[in-house]
Chain A
Amino acid sequence: GDSVTQMEGPVTLSEEAFLTINCTYTATGYPSLFWYVQYPGEGLQLLLKATKADDKGSNKGFEATYRKETTSFHLEKGSVQVSDSAVYFCALSNTGGFKTIFGAGTRLFVKA
């Protein structure tokens, strides 16, 4: 069945460092891909999404490109801030958004 694998955390970075969180997926067909973020004490929020190959999703300085040839959707940010500390979830939807499959989540700590 469909699945998502993302790098284990926690990831600890200093402020202004470059961030990469790896995500790969297994799916039939052409899934939509997502990154969700959960800040401390809050619910899941959609961070960005891409619906077809070579699409780049971006939001709040974060980017991820849908790579069908490598079945990947890595999350990147050029300069992280303390406020980016959160848990990040990679996810896919292969049914048009009605059922979302998540990775295990990667906790990010950013130190001042």
Chain B
Amino acid sequence: EAGVTQFPSHSVIEKGQTVTLRCDPISGHDNLYWYRRVMGKEIKFLLHFVKESKQDESGMPNNRFLAERTGGTYSTLKVQPAELEDSGVYFCASSQGARGNTIYFGEGSWLTVV
């Protein structure tokens, strides 16, 4: 069974440009999460989807970040326009419906804004 897959694995963009990160969760997982780790600090929660609905987006840093999950399958996280402080690793994760189920993480998308 395929795990959580993320694309691209690495991206280098200039300040002011747009980047879109994609996440394909494990098939059948209703819950999808985005996290990020900036500058070697702690991994921080961004948001949580249940199917196509945003359940909790309290961690989204500002309105330059837009997450979508069309049809409750894959998700995209767009950063527009990107700033230097957005550099870091963006992790996607997924889990099955019930609370307390194991959360499976992808390998992360490494974003560098120059």
By a beta-carbon cutoff of 8 Å, the part of chain A in contact with chain B is 4, 32, 36, 41-46, 51, 89, 91, 95-105
Q: Are B42 and A44 in contact (CB under 8 A)?
A: no
Q: Please list 22 pairs of residues, one from A and one from B, whose beta carbons are closer than 8 Å in the complex, sorted by A's number.
A: A32-B100, A42-B107, A43-B4, A43-B106, A43-B107, A44-B93, A44-B105, A46-B104, A89-B43, A91-B43, A97-B101, A98-B31, A98-B56, A99-B56, A100-B33, A100-B103, A101-B45, A102-B42, A104-B41, A105-B37, A105-B40, A105-B42
Q: A92 → chain B, closest Cβ, in Å?
A: 12
Query: Which chain B residues lie closer than 8 Å to A91 at the CB level?
Result: 43
Q: Are A97 and B42 in contact (CB under 8 A)?
A: no
> With the chains together, A8 CA to B106 CA distance in Å?
24
Q: Are A100 and B100 in contact (CB under 8 A)?
A: no
Binary contact track B63-96/A, C-beta < 8 Å → 1, others 0:
0000000000000000000000000000101010
Q: A79 → chain B, closest Cβ, in Å?
A: 27
By a beta-carbon cutoff of 8 Å, the part of chain B in contact with chain A is 3-4, 31, 33, 35, 37, 40-45, 48, 55-56, 91, 93, 95, 99-108
Q: Are B108 and A43 in contact (CB under 8 A)?
A: yes
Cβ-closest chain B residue relative to A46: B102
